[in-house]
Amino acid sequence: MTDDKWRISELRRLIETCTRAVVFTGAGISTESGIPDFRSPGGVWTKYTPILFEDFTSSEDARRESWRRKFDDSYGFEGAEPNRGHRAVAKLFRIGKVSAVITQNTDGLHQKSGIPEKGIIELHGNNTYASCLDCCFRYELGPIKKAFVSEGVLPICDRCGGLVKGATISFGQPMPEAPMLCAQEETMACDLFMAIGSSLQVYPAAGFPQTAVKNGAGLVILNRDSTNLDSFADIVLNMEIGSTLGDAVGVN
């Protein structure tokens, strides 16, 4: 058996023997759907200066620039579809192996792959809709885009007059408390933590695998490159995500 085949069979064994797994995903799972990794060389943040949360709330120009970028698809999200990796995760959720998917991604591809909202914990928000910064009411992007593109209208909340912003967490914006708490609870309750497509460098997210291990859970790391937490893992797979997970889980 080749090393890769052995690793996949070992991954399959770990999944089969666990009772409650948590999947944690980062940009790596979505690059296989054609979504660029923002932080990588050549990624979005090397082309655009991020708009800080403080600037969004204080400057109309910054808000205009933020919506302009979103609607000319500067971030490359438009038309992206879930790939084999997302489908494998969705199957694990469907059969009850995985209790929650914690994600750093904002592309909505876990939802699109069939996992219900209640099974997904988004640490950095969601790029596929908008919400009011004051009352949190959700707004769909279609009508906002229409008004912005045709008349340059910047969206304001109908209910409270607050600023409406894309539902991602911007640089400088506080991490939302509720998802962080849910992620912590799920991490403490799992017996297998699967970190997929994340370099595990950004805190607080990078703390979850360590919490899981300290609590006695197994740790799987599936990522293109090595990570700082590799030595804590039961198995490290520096392999393509879709084919590896697809083979381990039996999904095409």
The residues carrying an active-site annotation are: 124
Q: Does 153 bind Zn ion (CB under 5 A)?
A: no
Which residues, listed in sequence order, are joined to residue 221 by a DSSP beta bridge?
Answer: 195, 236
The one among 18, 157, 169, 241 contacting Zn ion by CB under 5 A: 157
**Cβ proximity of 107 and 127 under 8 Å:** yes
Q: Which region, judged by CB under 5 A, interacts with Zn ion, from 2-10, 99-107, 154-162, 215-223?
A: 154-162
The nearest distance, CB 138 to Zn ion, in angstroms, is 10
The one among 153, 156, 160, 175 contacting Zn ion by CB under 5 A: 160
Choose between 133 and 188: whose C-beta lies nearer to Zn ion.
133
Choose between 135 and 153: whose C-beta lies nearer to Zn ion.
135
Choose between 66 and 105: whose C-beta lies nearer to Zn ion.
66
The nearest distance, CB 135 to Zn ion, in angstroms, is 3
Q: Helix, strand or coil for residue 23?
A: strand
Q: In terms of residues, how long is the chain?
A: 252
Q: Which residues of the chain form beta strands (DSSP E)?
A: 21-25, 98-103, 120-122, 125-132, 138-139, 164-168, 192-196, 218-222, 235-237
Alpha helical stretches, state H, 192-240: 207-214
Choose between 73 and 134: whose C-beta lies nearer to Zn ion.
134
The nearest distance, CB 136 to Zn ion, in angstroms, is 7
Which residues, listed in sequence order, are joined to residue 235 by a DSSP beta bridge?
Answer: 220
Q: Which region, judged by CB under 5 A, interacts with Zn ion, from 67-75, 90-98, 158-166, 199-207?
A: 158-166
Choose between 62 and 133: whose C-beta lies nearer to Zn ion.
133
Which residues, listed in sequence order, are joined to residue 22 by a DSSP beta bridge?
Answer: 100, 193
Q: Does 162 bind Zn ion (CB under 5 A)?
A: yes
Tokens of 224: 């293109």
Closest CA to 58 of 173, 175, 168, 176: 173
Q: Does 36 bind Zn ion (CB under 5 A)?
A: no
The nearest distance, CB 174 to Zn ion, in angstroms, is 18
Give the Cα separation of 132 and 125 in Å (integer).
13
Query: Taking CB under 5 A as the criterion, which residues in 119-138 touch Zn ion?
Result: 132, 134-135, 137
| Cα–Cα distances in angstroms (integers) from residue 122 to residues 64, 154, 177, 186, 229, in the given order | 25, 25, 11, 13, 22
Distance of CA 239 to the CA centre of its chain: 19
Closest CA to 35 of 91, 102, 83, 87: 83
Query: Taking CB under 5 A as the criterion, which residues in 95-124 touch Zn ion?
Result: none
Binding site for Zn ion (CB under 5 A): 132, 134-135, 137, 157, 159-160, 162
